[in-house]
């Protein structure tokens, strides 16, 4: 068969890979083109591409660096899948957990100096200083913070996570989650609901009042109920909630209801005041994101068990301080790989636009590292509106995430994808190789302190975080 004449005589059908400017000339002459999106690995940096190739290694050679990374990542994913996070306690004060805390405020994301912090972080810190009684006015609080009289630290360095500003101050109660498989603990604060709330930077008297109610009423009741139930299995709630329209990051309606059932049964076993029980149940029933913090702590307890595996390029944390987005990698210790945070795209509450949005903020993307949120987007049709309104779009996000992960978690199935096991274990190498940035579902904070939440949407983790992490992997693990 002579191919050449028939190829040139028949109508032209072209598959174009990469740069799409070639397509126009084909179309103009009556040909049909299918575009395949592709870009050279390593952002077209030949040095980076070469190091990536070495880190990907030779699958036929088990002693190659690439194979050792593969094995380390398989072990990391195995630890993620085997994790069993359980809410085992509610500490009435953070300082009970960390006695040396003194005047420290834990916050979300990587370290950031007072002058560089975003508006909501300033607002929340001022609120926490007032709540602690370290200052009597906002002005006094602000000058103490600016003068360095308050120490800052990362939630993540205390095995903790906090949504949005993520502030944990010494008097705040913290939820204590234990990974029953690996024995490690993780901590988080309590979800305040919507409206004026500290985690979005509000600090008015009602915000402080609610935090005191947490300390005096909610936390002791939750503590008693959790003890009465012998702990509450968070992994089981997460798995069930994925079958009920949650991705357990930005939607937790089902997970909160399932948690509420355990809480209420537990409370009814305890000797607490009827009015206290009523206040607590009503608050949780009215707070559809109540489970968010628990989902985060479950994810933190899970991912910490996968951290510190030599050679592993598995991402074990994604955290945003409102200025930068930072990642940690299992085989690279406690270093953060940072880049400026993007602004989420999504739906804004009436009267607000993207121009009002603070750059991406909060430790909640820990859920994505554990396979929830954007990675389980297909589980949550109701969140689809954030992705442009079609079920197909949310399925497409999950589909893409399979390309940058090393495993699938059989405990997490995606109903809309015929119950496929959700992708888990972000591999730094695959992100750089494919150019596909992890998808995160997220709330959107106003950029000024005190305004609070103005919308919800999605954000992509900056590619620069992964390029920096890849360079560090090369420096650490490739032979000189």
What is the rounded distance in angstroms from the CA atom of residue 28 to the CA atom of residue 45?
33
What is the rounded distance in angstroms from the CA atom of residue 187 to the CA atom of residue 182?
15
Which tokens hold the place of 41? 């690995």
Specify the residue, 219 or 258, whose C-beta has the smaller distance to its own copies.
258
Please name the residues in contact with 243: beta carbons below 8 A apart, sequence gap of 6 or more: 379, 413, 415
CA angle 343, 349, 352 (to 5 degrees): 60
**Are 309 and 76 a contacting pair, CB within 8 Å?**
yes
CA dihedral 448, 449, 451, 457 (to 10 degrees): 60
CA angle 405, 410, 411 (to 5 degrees): 110
285 lies in the binding site for its own copies (CB under 8 A)? yes
Which tokens hold the place of 244? 């009920």
Shortest Cβ 7–its own copies spacing (Å): 22
Q: Which stretch binds its own copies (CB under 8 A): 157-165, 315-323, 389-397, 441-449?
A: 389-397
391 lies in the binding site for its own copies (CB under 8 A)? yes
For its own copies, the binding residue among 381, 435, 436, 476 (CB under 8 A) is 381
What is the rounded distance in angstroms from the CA atom of residue 321 to the CA atom of residue 445?
12
Specify the residue, 294 or 451, whose C-beta has the smaller distance to its own copies.
294
How many Cα atoms within 13 Å fall on the side-chain side of residue 203? 25
384 lies in the binding site for its own copies (CB under 8 A)? yes
349 lies in the binding site for its own copies (CB under 8 A)? no
Q: Which residue has the tokens 């308050």?
A: 150
Specify the residue, 252 or 324, whose C-beta has the smaller distance to its own copies.
252
* Helix 290-304 / helix 253-267 crossing angle, nearest 10 deg: 90
How much is the CA Rg of the chain, to the nearest whole Å? 24
Which tokens hold the place of 453? 């939440």
Specify the residue, 164 or 242, whose C-beta has the smaller distance to its own copies.
242
Helix (H, G, I), strand (E, B) or coil at 176: strand
Specify the residue, 50 or 260, whose C-beta has the smaller distance to its own copies.
260
Q: Which stretch binds its own copies (CB under 8 A): 149-157, 201-209, 276-284, 313-321?
A: 276-284
Task: Let me know how long the chain is.
Answer: 480
415 lies in the binding site for its own copies (CB under 8 A)? yes
Q: Which stretch binds its own copies (CB under 8 A): 14-22, 129-137, 168-176, 388-396?
A: 388-396
Specify the residue, 127 or 266, whose C-beta has the smaller distance to its own copies.
266
Under rule CB under 8 A, which residues in 210-269 are in contact with its own copies?
A: 240, 243-245, 253-254, 257-258, 260-262, 264-265, 267-269
> How many residues touch its own copies (CB under 8 A)?
34
CA dihedral 82, 88, 94, 95 (to 10 degrees): -110
Shortest Cβ 313–its own copies spacing (Å): 33
**Are 56 and 66 a contacting pair, CB within 8 Å?**
yes
How many Cα atoms within 13 Å fall on the side-chain side of residue 106? 27
Site string for its own copies, 92-131 (x = CB under 8 A): ----------------------------------------
What is the rounded distance in angstroms from the CA atom of residue 300 to the CA atom of residue 295?
9
Specify the residue, 96 or 279, whose C-beta has the smaller distance to its own copies.
279
Shortest Cβ 384–its own copies spacing (Å): 8
389 lies in the binding site for its own copies (CB under 8 A)? yes
33 lies in the binding site for its own copies (CB under 8 A)? no
Shortest Cβ 246–its own copies spacing (Å): 8
Shortest Cβ 260–its own copies spacing (Å): 5
For its own copies, the binding residue among 282, 388, 475, 478 (CB under 8 A) is 282
Shortest Cβ 378–its own copies spacing (Å): 10
10 lies in the binding site for its own copies (CB under 8 A)? no
Specify the residue, 189 or 384, whose C-beta has the smaller distance to its own copies.
384
Helix (H, G, I), strand (E, B) or coil at 116: helix
For its own copies, the binding residue among 17, 19, 139, 382 (CB under 8 A) is 382
Q: What is the DSSP letter of 419?
A: T
388 lies in the binding site for its own copies (CB under 8 A)? no
Specify the residue, 286 or 310, whose C-beta has the smaller distance to its own copies.
286
**Are 473 and 55 a contacting pair, CB within 8 Å?**
yes
Closest CA to 232 of 258, 253, 250, 251: 258
What is the rounded distance in angstroms from the CA atom of residue 445 to the CA atom of residue 120?
7
Q: Which stretch binds its own copies (CB under 8 A): 55-63, 64-72, 273-281, 398-406?
A: 273-281
Where do contacts with its own copies occur on this chain (CB under 8 A)?
240, 243-245, 253-254, 257-258, 260-262, 264-265, 267-269, 271, 274, 277-278, 281-282, 285, 381-382, 384, 389-391, 415-419
């Amino acid at each position: 068969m002579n191919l050449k004449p028939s190829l040139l005589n028949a109508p032209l059908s072209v598959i174009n890979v990469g740069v799409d400017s070639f397509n126009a000339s084909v179309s103009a002459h009556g040909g049909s083109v299918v575009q395949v999106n592709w870009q050279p690995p390593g952002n077209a940096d030949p040095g980076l591409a070469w190091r990536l190739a070495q880190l990907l290694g030779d699958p036929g050679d088990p002693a190659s660096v690439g194979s050792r990374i593969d094995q380390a990542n398989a072990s990391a994913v195995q630890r993620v899948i085997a994790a069993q996070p359980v809410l085992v306690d509610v500490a009435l004060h953070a300082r009970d957990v960390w006695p040396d805390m003194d005047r420290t405020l834990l916050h979300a994301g990587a370290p950031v100096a007072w002058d560089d912090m975003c508006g909501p972080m300033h607002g929340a810190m001022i609120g926490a200083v007032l709540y602690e009684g370290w200052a009597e006015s906002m002005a006094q609080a602000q000058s103490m913070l600016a003068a360095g009289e308050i120490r800052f630290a990362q939630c993540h360095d205390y095995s903790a996570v906090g949504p949005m500003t993520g502030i944990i101050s010494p008097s705040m109660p913290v939820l204590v989650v234990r990974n029953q498989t690996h024995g490690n603990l993780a901590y988080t604060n309590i979800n305040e609901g919507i409206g004026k709330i500290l985690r979005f930077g509000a600090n008015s008297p009602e915000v402080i009042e609610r935090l005191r109610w947490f300390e005096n009423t909610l936390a002791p009741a939750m503590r008693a109920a959790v003890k009465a139930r012998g702990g509450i299995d968070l992994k089981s709630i997460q798995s069930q909630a994925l079958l009920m329209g949650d991705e357990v990051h930005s939607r937790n309606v089902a997970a909160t209801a399932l948690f509420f059932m355990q809480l209420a049964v537990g409370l009814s076993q305890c000797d607490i005041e009827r009015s206290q029980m009523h206040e607590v149940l009503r608050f949780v029933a009215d707070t559809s994101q109540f489970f968010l913090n628990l989902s985060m702590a479950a994810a933190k307890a899970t991912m910490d068990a996968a951290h510190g595996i030599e050679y592993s390029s598995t991402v074990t944390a994604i955290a945003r301080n409102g200025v930068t987005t930072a990642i940690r990698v299992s085989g690279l210790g406690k270093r953060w790989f940072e880049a400026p945070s993007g602004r989420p795209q999504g739906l804004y509450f009436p009267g607000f636009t993207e121009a009002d949005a603070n750059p991406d903020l909060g430790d909640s993307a820990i859920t994505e590292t554990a396979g929830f949120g954007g990675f389980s987007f297909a589980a949550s049709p109701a969140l689809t509106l954030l992705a442009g309104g079609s079920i197909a779009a949310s399925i497409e996000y999950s589909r893409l995430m399979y390309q940058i992960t090393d495993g699938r978690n059989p405990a997490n199935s995606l109903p809309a994808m015929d119950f496929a096991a959700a992708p888990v274990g972000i591999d730094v190498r695959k992100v750089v190789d494919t150019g596909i940035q992890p998808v995160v579902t997220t709330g959107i904070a106003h950029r000024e302190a005190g305004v609070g939440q103005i919308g919800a949407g999605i954000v992509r983790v900056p590619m620069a975080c992964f390029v920096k992490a890849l360079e560090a992997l090369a420096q650490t693990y490739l032979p000189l």
